[in-house]
């Protein structure tokens, strides 16, 4: 009888020690390694809203029209595996009611392609793998893992620079808790464009290098704090042309008070955030805590039984 009790106590003790070690492994090694930006990302996010744009057909700015921004992200898995970084090819197009049905980015109002390379752990930019353009900041397509209630620098492609985003408040999107960050961009020159002088009110003959100006009245990003995934985004961009040296806008190329994720995009991003956040919580919090408690109880019970069994006197037969 004592032999079976001793064996049972050893089983309990072994199981307890195993769970305690497993809990530490999950918390210290597995969960941190799960906090890596994926290399095989394939996603599409869509913004919609109303605004104005410059119609080249009528050579005038058309008011109160539906505007659609479609951003497609495809991870370059091979480049990511070679470099150990997240390498994403990004296509962004802005469409009007005329160009949206064409389903051809080359015929959209504006189409840009970029190649982003980031450190999979920190989300900081990495200079490799034909990155284009060279960008800065802490956040762009996502925020770092473990988002804090502080200011972050966000890369704005239209500006070609970083924008400070301040923590605004804790909110909920589709039932999922998120941190909302807000910021803005004052009117800033971003380049030049050759246009007919008359278009920008210049008296010069022929063409002039008109100044391109960009502003964003409000940038609003709601982020799932554990994963850094952007669950909702809203912007209010304005792009204009000015005559060389002028302080006044002459032509509005694009303007909107609010372009925001569509309901379908929000639902998808919230669902992905909830899934990834739940997995990280399981690996980093729930499983280690449960394993630690269960392991401690089993190890304690096994130790008590083992000690008690050794103290019991032996009874000889006869």
Dihedral angle of Cα 177, 151, 71, 230, to the nearest 10 degrees: -10
Q: At what angle do helices 287-311 and 2-25 cross, to 10 degrees?
A: 160
Could you give the CA distance from residue 228 to residue 37 in angstroms, rounded to a whole number?
Answer: 10
68, 261 contact by CB (below 8 A): no
pLDDT, one tens digit per residue, over 251-301 is 999 999 999 999 999 999 999 999 988 777 655 555 455 545 555 554 555
Q: What is the pLDDT of residue 19?
A: 43
Element (H, E) at 31: helix 31-34
204 C-beta neighbours (distance < 10 Å), count: 12
For the segment 197-256, what is each residue's pLDDT rounded down to a tens digit? 999 998 888 999 999 999 999 999 999 999 999 999 999 999 999 999 999 999 999 999
pLDDT tens sequence across 45-69: 999 999 999 998 888 999 999 999 9
d(CA 81, CA 79): 6
């Amino acid at each position: 009888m004592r032999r079976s009790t001793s064996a049972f106590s050893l089983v309990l003790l072994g199981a307890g020690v195993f769970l305690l070690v497993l809990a530490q492994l999950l918390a210290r090694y597995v969960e941190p390694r799960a906090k890596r930006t994926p290399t095989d990302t394939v996603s599409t996010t869509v913004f919609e809203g109303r605004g104005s744009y410059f119609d080249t057909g009528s050579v005038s700015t058309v008011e109160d029209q539906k505007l659609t921004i479609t951003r497609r992200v495809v991870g370059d898995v091979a480049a990511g595996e070679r470099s150990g970084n997240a390498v994403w090819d990004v296509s962004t197009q802005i469409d009007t009611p005329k160009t949206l049905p064409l389903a051809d980015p080359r015929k959209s109002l504006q189409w840009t392609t970029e190649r982003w390379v980031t450190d999979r752990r920190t989300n900081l930019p990495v200079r490799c793998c034909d990155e284009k353009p060279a960008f800065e900041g802490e956040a762009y397509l996502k925020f770092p893992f473990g988002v804090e209630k502080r200011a972050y620098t966000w890369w704005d492609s239209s500006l070609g620079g970083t924008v400070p985003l301040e923590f605004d408040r804790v909110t909920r999107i589709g039932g999922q808790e998120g941190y909302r960050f807000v910021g803005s961009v004052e009117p800033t020159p971003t380049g030049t464009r050759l246009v007919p002088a008359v278009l920008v009110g210049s008296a010069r003959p022929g063409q002039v290098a008109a100044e391109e100006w960009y502003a964003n009245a409000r940038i609003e990003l709601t982020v799932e704090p554990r994963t850094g995934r952007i669950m909702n985004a809203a912007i209010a961009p304005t792009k204009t042309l000015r005559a060389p040296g002028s302080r006044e806008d002459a032509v509005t190329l694009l303007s909107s008070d609010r372009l925001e994720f569509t309901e379908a995009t929000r639902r998808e991003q919230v669902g992905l955030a909830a899934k990834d956040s739940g997995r990280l919580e399981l690996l980093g919090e729930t499983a280690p805590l449960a394993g630690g408690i269960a392991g401690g109880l089993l190890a304690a019970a096994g130790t008590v039984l083992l000690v008690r069994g050794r103290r019991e006197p032996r009874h000889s037969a006869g």
